[in-house]
Amino acid sequence: MEAILRTEKLCKSFSNGGLQQHIIKNLDMEIREKDFTVIMGASGSGKSTLLYALSGMDTPTLGSVYFGDKDISKYSNDRLAVFRRENCGFVFQSIYLLENMTVFDNIMTGALVIQKNSPALVEKVGELLKKVGIGENLWDKYPNQLSGGECQRVGIVRAIINDPKILFADEPTGALNSASSRDVLDIFTELNKNGQSIVMVTHDIKTALRGNRVIYLRDGAVIGEHQMPAYGTDDIKSRQEGLQRFLDDMGW
């Protein structure tokens, strides 16, 4: 599969009270198209920092991030915003819905940044909402009137409404109960099955099982990688054992 994202000697440091903390160190890696890539690692290993650097949400301190043949690490903040709206979708652990907007408007806010308003767009939003299990009765509700799972499903629809080339997810089930988590992961699996490239950060094995490629980070460097068949095409038990062994080897 062709690489859609690639990093070269990627470094990210933060200054903390005058002290430089190097979170990502000289990282070379690539994200392949249509893969469901899962990034794992212990807390503080740099998973989320890597995700934000890959997605253009943050700029690296050193090194480069290539999207196709374009080095997005040199982009200005506004050019990165345009890059994000054209190529990326985001699902967050904290969901980050706009509190003062209804479910429907939250999605339209994401859609209209790049698309023109049309009946087809409104219809598409409705279809996607129904597809993730958000009934019409919830469309005019505000986020604080929904459950966490419902909010995350709305967040997913908002992330995919512009048909992004890559969907980035940062612990998407971190704040959900198990039933809601399963629903959300099913949506991710379904999306990937339909060709959606996904990069997901998680520290949960069950969540990681949904991916076909697991990258393990320690102290800002990739120390191992584990390949799996697409989810649902193999035996779940052996899949789980294989991943567990990999993680044990990584010192999980």
Partner 1 sequence: MQKILRISLANIRKHKTQSALLGLLITLCMAIAATALAGQYDLKDIFPTFADKYAVHKNAVFINSDYFNDGFMDILREDGRVTDAEYMDFLYSTGTKYLDKDGKDNALYMSAVTREMEHRIEHSDIATSLSQTEIAAIEHPVYLPYNANTAMGFREGDSFGIICGTKVYPFTVAGFYGSMFMPESNNGFQIIVSEEDYVTMMSVLGHWKLVMFDCVDTNESENIYLDFKNRIEEYTGKDAGMQMLPFYYSTLETNSMRFVSVVTYIMLVMAVIVLIAAAIMIRFRIKNDIEEQIQSIGVLEALGYTSKDISLAYTAEYMIISLAGIAAGTAFTPLLLNILHSTGENLSGYRADTAAAVLPVVLTALAILLLVFMVAFIGAGAVKRYPPVTAFRKGIAAHHFGKNVLPLKNTGKNIHVRLAMKGFLQNIRHNIGITVCILVTSIAAAAGIIMVESFGSDLSIARKMAGFEFSDYNITTVDYADTDALAEEIRQLPGVRKVLVGTFSLDISSWDYLYAYERTATLLPVAYEDYGECEDISPSEGRLPEHANEAAVSMTFASKHGLKVGDNITVEKNGVRKNFLITGKVTAVAADGMGFYITREGLHNIAPAINCHAIDIYLEDDTDREAFNDLLLERYGKSISDTAKDGTSGDTAEERIRAEAEKQIAELMKTHGVTHLEYTVRLGDKIISGTSGSFLIKSEQNLNKVLLTQMGGLFRTLHISALAFTAITAVVVCIIISILMEQTVRRQRRELGIMLSMGYTSKELMFQLAMRIMPAVITAVILGSAASVFLFTELMKVLFGEFNVNIPTVVISGIVMTLFCFGCAYIGAGRIKKISVTELMTE
Q: Which residues in this chain contact partner 1 in the complex, by CB under 8 A? A: 52, 57-58, 77-78, 81-86, 88, 90, 92, 94, 96-102, 104-105, 108-110, 112-114, 116-117, 122, 125, 140, 142, 144-145, 158
CB 84, min distance to partner 1, A: 4
CB 75, min distance to partner 1, A: 11
User: For residues 165 and 206, which CB has a smaller minimum distance to partner 1 in the complex?
Assistant: 165
- How crowded is residue 238: how many other Cβ atoms within 10 Å of its Cβ? 10
State the pairing for strand pair 166-170/197-201.
Answer: parallel
User: For residues 59 and 240, which CB has a smaller minimum distance to partner 1 in the complex?
Assistant: 59
- Cβ–Cβ under 8 Å, residues 95 and 152: yes
H-type alpha helices, 60-147: 77-87, 103-111, 119-131
- Cβ–Cβ under 8 Å, residues 158 and 110: yes
CB 58, min distance to partner 1, A: 6
User: For residues 140 and 225, which CB has a smaller minimum distance to partner 1 in the complex?
Assistant: 140
User: For residues 158 and 226, which CB has a smaller minimum distance to partner 1 in the complex?
Assistant: 158
**Rounded distance, CA 36 to CA 172, Å?**
14
